[in-house]
Amino acid sequence: MTYRDLIRRIKDAASADDASSKDALELVVENVAAHLTDQTRREFAAALPNELQSAAQMVPTASHIDEDIIDQLMDLEDVDETGAKRRIKAAWQALCDIFDSHEVDDITAELPRQVVAALE
């Protein structure tokens, strides 16, 4: 799946524009990657379109670990909680379609419960 396909899927699922769909996608990639082991992070990044690979290789920061992903998108996009949740969930669903169900299970197994709850 291409980067453009991912953006289009988020736009359609969340009734969002291009810019907010891109922000949600990059935020989900960064937040997921921040919680993965080095090996899983490399595998996760390698499966993503080129445009997202640098976001997936980021080093975890306190903001990604401490601040809720929904709050991060609300601050970034100046959107309400419902809109942020819808975009985050749409971005996660689009990303899940890149991986098989076993890989998705492996990724989510490394994520904190509150991150998984925000994504699903």
- Answer yes or no: is pLDDT of 73 > 90: no
**Contact at 8 Å (CB) between 64 and 31?**
yes
Say which CATH topology domain 3-119 has: Globin-like (1.10.490)
Minimum mean pLDDT among 8-22, 31-45, 49-63, 97-111: which range? 49-63
Percent of the chain residues past pLDDT 90, beyond the cut: 62
**Contact at 8 Å (CB) between 104 and 21?**
no
Q: Would you place residue 75 in the very low, low, confident or very high pLDDT band (cuts 50, 70, 90)?
A: confident
pTM: predicted TM-score of the whole model, two decimal places: 0.89
User: How far, in Å, CA of 102 to CA of 117, rounded?
Assistant: 19
Query: Rounded to a whole number, what is the largest CA-CA distance in the chain?
Result: 35
Go through the chain and tell me how many residues it has: 120
Which pLDDT belongs to residue 60? 62
